[in-house]
């Protein structure tokens, strides 16, 4: 599949077109500036110039330039980003609410919490954990389908009185596909019929072996309603985060993912984004999906205005031209021209894909009529 022209690639890398053509020649590819390269070739060129590549999808390297390799030198520990999954009614929403109530920083903010699709908790010891507050596998699947990987750790909620159910199994599959380690939260321990050992046994069938049974998966007994075991669950998350050695460089232009977005009557397009790298600052120009804008204002998860947001921070961003989809990546770019250019490039690609979809659909219709 074709992705990017030589000229656009040069532009994106802030390199001269002839240098890109020369690099291509070295690889045995003769090209002019308007030639469209496939993703594999583009990837090779990007690496040749000392940049790192991120494949947004199988064929897509359109935001492929991840900064210089020396970025690794400045990486500092960052908070883990956690998603809660599990069978319906096993207590995902209740657990998210319960965990939110453990935030020691919430008191300072006057206890006003906002629903913005993600929130961060500060533990009594001063550690931070970011929770993606869009439980449900659909949000997770939508993000993964767009190539976004936001989750470091998956909390698998299983009700102790109900055990492993179809959506539990589905959640396990999602977590494994995303390569995210699982922590099992055995919920509803306050119920008379609670049988945590049965849950542990049932999970064996899906290759989840908890520590107690000699495996490596942490499990914690909790009650979202009675708010018990929450500190242990947070400890388990922080331990997992330590094992993963999660790091990011705060001193670079921000990059991340749109978690949620909506059109607000008074404020216009509002996007909740998760900053994954770098620091997002008020006044930055961002491209999110095919939309762009200058960050007019930012609010944290407690609805407080903030000027900057570092790695693993969830923030509400005001100032975009339109509403980007959940799961779309965002990047900070150096100026409005660049933002417009990337936005137009992506809009063109969306149209192309739609057109291709229509052609494909017509193809099958033709076949059906034949
Ligand atoms: P979700 O569908 O996974 O988001 O589940 P909810 O959080 O909506 O919970 C489903 C039901 O289980 C609600 O009636 C909750 O009050 C109840 N529930 C959740 N957690 C607990 C718990 O720890 N103990 C008890 N007894 N009930 C719970
Ligand atoms: Mg729910």
Using the CB atoms, write b or e for 272-299: b if 16+ within 10 Å: bbbbbbbbbebebbbbbbbbbbebeebb
Q: Which of 145, 127, 108 is nearest to 302 (CA)?
A: 108
pLDDT tens by residue, 219-278? 999 999 999 999 999 999 999 999 999 999 898 889 999 988 999 999 999 999 999 989
Residues 6, 32: Cα–Cα separation, whole Å: 7
Pocket residue to mutate for ligand 1, from 85, 89, 96, 190, most atoms within 8 A of Cβ: 89
Between 103 and 185, name the one with better pLDDT.
185
Find the residues whose C-beta lies inside 6 A of ligand 1.
86, 88-94, 135, 187-188, 190-191, 223-225
Contacts of 13 (CB under 8 A, 6+ apart): 20, 46, 49, 51, 65
CA atoms within 13 A on the CB side of 213: 17
Return the pLDDT at 63: 41
The token pair that represents 348 in the structure block = 């063109």
Residue 319: pLDDT over 90: yes
Q: Is the pTM of this model over 0.90?
A: no
What is the residue with the minimal CA distance to atom 25 of ligand 1?
Answer: 188
Query: Sign of the C-alpha dihedral, residues 208, 210, 213, 214?
Result: positive
Identify the nearest ligand to the CA of 188 by its number: 1
Return the pLDDT at 114: 60
What is the residue with the minimal CA distance to atom 17 of ligand 1?
Answer: 91
| Segment 25-45 mean pLDDT | 85
Residues 231, 222: Cα–Cα separation, whole Å: 9
Report how far ligand 1's centroid is from the alpha carbon of 200 (Å). 20
Between 86 and 359, name the one with better pLDDT.
86
Axis-axis angle for helices 39-48, 17-26 (nearest 10): 110
CA 127 to chain centre: 21
Residues 296, 166: Cα–Cα separation, whole Å: 44
Cβ-based neighbour number of residue 234 at 10 Å: 20
pLDDT tens by residue, 100-151? 998 887 765 555 556 678 899 999 899 999 998 765 556 666 666 665 678 9
Strands 268-277 and 255-264: antiparallel
Q: Distance of CA 187 to CAs 141, 222, 234, 249, Å?
A: 24, 5, 14, 36
> Relative to the CA of 94, which ligand 1 atom is closest?
7
Axis-axis angle for helices 166-177, 137-145 (nearest 10): 30
The token pair that represents 37 in the structure block = 């390269």
Q: Which of 29, 31, 39 is nearest to 2 (CA)?
A: 39
Q: Helices (DSSP H) in 27-136: which residue ranges?
A: 39-48, 92-100, 104-108
């Amino acid at each position: 599949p074709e992705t990017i022209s030589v000229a656009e690639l040069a532009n994106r890398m802030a390199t001269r077109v002839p240098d890109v053509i020369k690099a291509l020649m070295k690889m045995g590819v003769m090209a002019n500036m308007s030639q469209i390269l496939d993703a594999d070739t583009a990837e090779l060129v990007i690496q040749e110039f000392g940049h790192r590549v991120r494949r947004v999808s199988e064929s897509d390297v359109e935001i492929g330039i991840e900064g210089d390799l020396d970025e690794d030198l400045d990486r500092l520990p960052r908070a883990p980003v956690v998603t809660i999954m599990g069978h319906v009614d096993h207590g995902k929403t209740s657990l998210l609410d319960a965990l939110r109530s453990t935030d020691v920083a919430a008191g300072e903010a006057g206890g006003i919490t906002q629903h913005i699709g993600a929130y961060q908790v500060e533990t009594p010891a001063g550690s931070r954990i970011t929770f993606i507050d869009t439980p449900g596998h659909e949000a997770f699947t939508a993000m993964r389908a767009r190539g976004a990987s936001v989750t470091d750790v998956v909390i698998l909620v299983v009700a102790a009185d109900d055990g492993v159910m179809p959506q539990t199994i589905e959640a396990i599959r999602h977590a494994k596909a995303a390569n995210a380690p699982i922590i099992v939260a055995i919920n509803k321990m306050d119920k008379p019929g609670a049988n945590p050992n049965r849950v542990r046994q049932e999970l064996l069938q899906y290759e989840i072996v908890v520590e107690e049974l000699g495996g490596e998966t942490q499990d914690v007994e909790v009650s979202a309603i009675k708010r018990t075991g929450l500190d242990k669950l947070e400890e388990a998350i922080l331990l997992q985060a330590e094992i993963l050695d999660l790091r990011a460089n705060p001193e670079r232009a921000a990059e991340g993912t749109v978690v949620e977005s909506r059109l607000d009557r008074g404020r216009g397009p509002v996007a909740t984004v998760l900053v994954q790298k770098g620091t997002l600052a008020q006044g930055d120009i961002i491209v999110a999906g095919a939309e762009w804008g200058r960050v007019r204002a930012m609010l944290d998860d407690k609805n407080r205005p903030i000027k900057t947001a570092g790695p693993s921070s969830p923030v509400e961003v005001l100032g975009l031209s339109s509403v980007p989809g959940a799961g779309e990546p965002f990047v900070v770019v150096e100026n409005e021209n660049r933002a417009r250019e990337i936005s137009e490039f992506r809009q063109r690609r969306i149209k192309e894909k739609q057109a291709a979809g229509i052609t494909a659909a017509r193809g099958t219709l033709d076949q059906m009529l034949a």
